[in-house]
Structure 1
Amino acid sequence: MQTLLLWMFYISTFYAFIPALVSRLFGFRVFRRGKSEQEYALTFDDGPDPVYTPQLLDLLKRFDAKATFFVVGIHAEKHPELLKRMHDEGHLIGIHNYVHKSNWLMRPVTVRRQIARTEAVIRRVTGEGTTFYRPPWGIVNFFDISNSNGRRIVLWSSMFGDWKASIGAKQLAERMLKKLRGGEVMLLHDCGTTLGADAGAPQNMLIALEKLLVVAQERKLRSVRVDTLFCRESASRPATTETSSTSWFKRTLVFGWLLYERLFHVLFRLRPVRKEDTIFYYKRSIYHGPNVNMENGRWLEKGDAVVELHFDNKMLFQLGTTAKSMVHLAIQLIRIVKRQLPDLAYRIADDPKMNGIKAVYAVSMINRGPEKLGFQIRELPKGLFRIASTLYLKLLFSVIHPSGPEQLNEKRDKMVPKMIVMPIDTLFGRFWLGDSYPTDQGQSKTDPIQETVRASQAADTRSSS
């Protein structure tokens, strides 16, 4: 049960929650706001609608305002004449999935099909494709931000609850006018049939929008398409800003990541190998993978007790910021691991709960070199565990290393998580220092590993009989 909860925690966190958090709070790989002082962007989701979209297009035409429509494919397919009118009148058309369904609730391949199907509708009607995409409710998953395939994900800097009729046109107009300024990306809706929306709500939006357009004209503010605002923002960014911005963003992201890691350690009772500057945390666990033929003809089998290792991400980030390459990072990491494996041996031998441990076990993308320390490298079996491990470790590496995303793209075939495993007697045989060892109480014990190894061998004998 604990293992199931662990992997549910892994998958939900790294597939959904973290990508949504970093995109919303930090604008990671999404466009939320422009830099222009005199231009803003009106964006409309969920349409086209046969009742409200024509009225909206009339209103925009009257004020010579350009907008961006993120259309739902199934609606666009039913009303191609509205799609064509948007295009002919100079508005930008983006994708809002084929059906209005959260990306959290769909597999990556399903999301890709939704996008492709909607783009096919747009291309068939207008003769042009689109690179702009807004996921329903602005909720992204890991694949949305890690592999956008050239698409620009557009969120927003202000929204007003215009999908609810209870707000009323007057209150809605007041909310919109408070946000009327250059660079703003406003989220509105020209369809009221989406789950949670009120059917007549777009009528209030049209009334409020007319008031906003009047005031915008008075202030010399111009409504433009998102791609126009995006180009202005890119052109105005100084060459030196990107590095400092990325550095600030990465520090903030790492801070959030380490808070999450601390919570993870508490929830799953991970302990540090050292009290200070530890390279990994550990816990006793039950092995659930395929049988592994270890050295000396011994096998690691499902149900065996293992010590599960987790690298300390704070130290990994510190190493990654100075590492010149993946190889350099791996070399530094292996050297530190080598120095701390004796500490791990002490911890295991000193803890009665560790009796019967058969092997030390971990999953890592840095899997070249550990064999020199006595670890054996094994492929992860295909399945949910491998998929979740790959997602987690690739996202982690893209954060901890300055050129992480580039490394992942260039060495996609080599950046594969693998199982590393070491028999417990190999750990003691290689890394036990001296005949006695210190305990946390300051006492000394002699011949400490016999009971642990004996219990491990007894378990091995039982499994082979």
Structure 2
Amino acid sequence: MLSRKNVIGLHTLLWCIFIVLLLYTILPTIIVRLLCLWVYKKKVSKDGIALTFDDGPDPEFTPQLLDLLSKYQIKAAFFVLGSKAEKYPEIILRIHREGHLIGIHNYVHWTNALMTPKRVRKQLNDSVEAIEKIIGVKPIYYRPPWGIINVFDLFLVKQYRLVLWSLMVKDWRSRGGKNRIRSTLLSKLQMNHIIVLHDSGQTFGANRDAPHYMLKALEDFLEICKQRNFPFLPIDTYLQLLQFKKRQPSGLVKKCLVFIWLKWERMFNWLFNIRPIDVDNQIFYSRVCKYHGKTIDLGSGEALTSGDLVVELHFNNEKLHQLITESSSMFQLAVKMKHDVQNFLPTLAQRIHSMPQKVKAIYGITMIHRGSRQLGFTVTELPKGLFSRFTQIYLKTLLYVLHPNGRERLKLKSELLSPRIATISTEELYKKYAATVEPMPISEHAISLSQEVLYEANRT
């Protein structure tokens, strides 16, 4: 039996191995997938589907695949193994002559997670040399086996264009035959997909006859796509439409910050029971809570005092990030946000009307207050102190992370970026935005225009 000392030593060793793997390959691969680096799902201005094939060339199945692609006049991308390219140069030459793109899938089908950076570079160099000798063109597109990378592969963007996928149908398995592959392709069929299929069944974990079923399913799929007028694009054209750019370190850091921030906010909302008010327009989240602070004059003889029940609104920053991504300019973003906010406020008034709690006002905090006043809110200064300083740091950080020109905005508008309390009584909200609702007793509320910040930042 192992002694306690040996058991502790074994646990320590296992933890060390796990940490090394985490830093070397698990974390980089997760980051690439979660941030959609080199994984393309949507966002193109012109629609199209890109077909890609891994693990070949195969002397039995690749020629059949080329015949099928020729029949439907489709150009695809073949990510080939260097060792098989050397073994079947005539197939590689045919792929090239028929106008398909040839990329690298390592020299042998071995994961980068279990290779040193030097070994990965040798795999790539040997593959490039083998392919270049056959077709006279140096391949620049690269797909690592199983889509797994190590941390040093992040630097490969200087030499290669890494291409993963947005749709995989597990066609390396024979089980389920043609119908399983066909139904999976059709059930997930949409524009802007990079589809990965396999024209060889000779790699680890694959069934040797699996490409036979893939080809049958693919033929049905292509025929249906033809009937529906779905276009297919070669991968290089596809990436150009996506405005593919080599990822610079600053851009990568920005994407990581956005990802981490949004995940943290999800956890924060869950912990404090902050939920969307309108599932169809999730621009604001809310919670009902007691107000704690100085007395605020709400106008019309009303005042918000400590202990009053309020509705606290929080801007949905994930929605904001989506709007930023979908907008071609900051003007377009401002227009979209204004439209969403104006559509939301009548819904808010109606939801408040149906709430069982008796709330006093809508309450929240904003750094840029002019937009708040235009919407009917009373704006007062946030009392100076630790909470004020913390809020200012938080909102400035938010502006920096989510705004595409956050750093410049902070420099240009620094004198305006001081936190303010924005409030509106339930009665006033009701009068302004819910005129079509039946008269209601004086319900009460509070709003968090915490992200009116970014709407106003974009406007100004």
TM-score by length of 2: 0.52
Report the equivalent of 2:195.
186
Out of 25, 31, 40, the position equivalent to 1:32 is 40
How do residues 32-71 of structure 1 correspond to structure 2 at under 5 angstroms? 32-34=40-42, 35=44, 37-71=46-80
User: For residue 455 of structure 2, what is the aligned residue in structure 1?
Assistant: none
Structure 1 unaligned residues grouped into runs of 5+? 238-242, 260-314, 325-465
Q: Which residue of 2 aligns with 1:22?
A: 31
Between the aligned partners of 2:164 and 2:253, the Cα distance in structure 1 is: 19
Q: How far has the Cα of 1:254 moved from its partner? A: 5.9
Q: What is the CA–CA distance in structure 2 between the aligned matches of 1:248 and 1:215, rounded to whole Å?
A: 37
Shift of 1:14: 1.2
* Residue in 2 that maps onto 1:72: 81
Question: What CA distance in whole angstroms lies between the structure 1 residues aligned with 2:41 and 2:139?
Answer: 20
Superposition pairs of residues 101-116 of structure 1, within 5 angstroms: 101-116=110-125
2:169 match:
160
The answer to whether the 8 A contact 1:48-1:83 is kept is yes
RMSD over equivalenced CA pairs, Å: 3.4
2:93 counterpart residue number: 84
CA distance in 1, matches of 2:253, 2:69: 37
Distance 1:187 1:173 in 2: 13
Match for residue 407 of structure 1? none
Given the alignment of the two structures, is residue 226 of structure 1 paired with residue 247 of structure 2, yes or no?
no
CA displacement at 1:220 relative to structure 2: 1.4
Cα distance in 1, alignment partners of residues 242 and 34 from structure 2: 19
Helix, strand or coil: the match of 2:132? helix
1:252 aligns with 2:259: yes
Deviations 1:50-71 (A, max 9, x none): 0000000000001000100000
Q: What is aligned with 2:217? A: 208
Q: Secondary structure at the match of 2:175?
A: helix
Query: Identity rate of aligned residues, in percent?
Result: 40
Aligned counterpart, 2:442: none
Shift of 1:38: 3.3
In the aligned structure 2, how far is the partner of 1:102 from the partner of 1:40?
Answer: 27
For structure 2, the 5+ residue unaligned runs are 1-8, 267-393, 408-460
Secondary structure in 2 aligned to 1:123? Answer: helix
Shift of 1:247: 4.6
In structure 2, do the counterparts of structure 1 residues 208 and 244 end up closer, same or farther at CA, with 3 Å as the change threshold?
Answer: same
The number of residue pairs the alignment matches comes to 264
Aligned pair in 2 of structure 1 residues 46, 245: CA closer, same or farther (>3 Å)?
closer
Contact 1:36 1:182 (8 Å CA) reproduced: no
Q: For 1:143 and 1:131, how far apart are their aligned partners in 2? A: 17
The correspondence of residues 396-407 of structure 1 with structure 2, limited to 5 A, is: none
Q: How far does residue 122 in structure 1 lie from its aligned partner after superposition?
A: 1.0
Helix, strand or coil for the counterpart of 2:52?
strand
Give the secondary-structure state (helix, strand or coil) at the position aligned to 2:232. strand
Once the two structures are TM-superposed, the CA of residue 171 in structure 1 deviates from its matched residue by: 1.9
Q: Matched residues in 2 for 1:15 and 1:222: separation?
A: 39
1:39: how far off?
1.3
Letter in 2 for 1:250: L
Deviation at residue 10 of structure 1 after TM alignment: 3.3
Q: Structure 1 residue 256: deviation in Å?
A: 6.6
Q: Check the 8 A contact 1:38/1:220 in 2, yes or no.
A: no
Secondary structure at the counterpart of residue 164 of structure 1 = coil
| Structure 2: distance between partners of 1:115 and 1:166 | 33
Q: Residue by residue, what CA displacement relative to the aligned partner does 1:57-110 show, whole Å, maximum 9, x if unpaired?
A: 000001000100000111111000110111100000110000000100000110
Q: Any conservation in 1 of the 2:54–2:78 contact (CA below 8 Å)?
A: yes
Change (3 A) 1:65 1:150: same
TM-superposed CA distance for 1:189, in Å, is 0.2
CA gap 1:248/1:145 in 2 versus in 1, 3 angstroms:
closer
Q: 1:109 to 1:255 in 2, by over 3 A?
A: farther
CA offsets 1:353-377 (integer angstroms, 9 cap, x no match) = xxxxxxxxxxxxxxxxxxxxxxxxx
SS of structure 2 residue aligned to 1:140: coil
Question: What amino acid sits opposite 2:160 in the alignment?
Answer: R
Q: In the aligned structure 1, how far is the partner of 2:206 from the partner of 2:25?
A: 24
Q: Answer yes or no: is the 8 Å Cα contact 1:37–1:182 preserved in 2.
A: no
SS at match of 1:77: helix
Corresponding residue to 2:178 among 169, 179, 183: 169
The alpha-carbon deviation at position 140 of structure 1 amounts to 1.0
Q: Any conservation in 2 of the 1:54–1:82 contact (CA below 8 Å)? A: yes
In the other structure, the counterpart of 2:17 is: 8
Alignment partner of 1:128 out of 137, 141, 146: 137
Quote the offset at 1:179 in angstroms.
2.4
Match of 2:73, SS state, is coil
Partner AA of 1:182 in structure 2: M
Q: What secondary structure, in the 3-state scheme, does the structure 2 residue paired with 1:70 have?
A: strand
CA offsets per residue over residues 301-330 of structure 1, 9 Å max, x none? xxxxxxxxxxxxxx9x979x7999xxxxxx
Does the CA-based 8 Å contact 1:161-1:167 persist in structure 2? no
Give the direction of change, closer, same or farther, for the CA distance of 1:92–1:254 in structure 2 (3 Å limit).
Answer: same
> Given the two structures, how large is their TM-score scaled by the length of structure 1?
0.52
Equivalent position amino acid for 2:40 in 1? R
- The residue correspondences of 1:311-460 to structure 2 (distance < 5 A) are none
Tell me by how many angstroms 1:192 deviates: 0.4
SS at match of 2:196: strand
- 2:41 is aligned with what amino acid? R
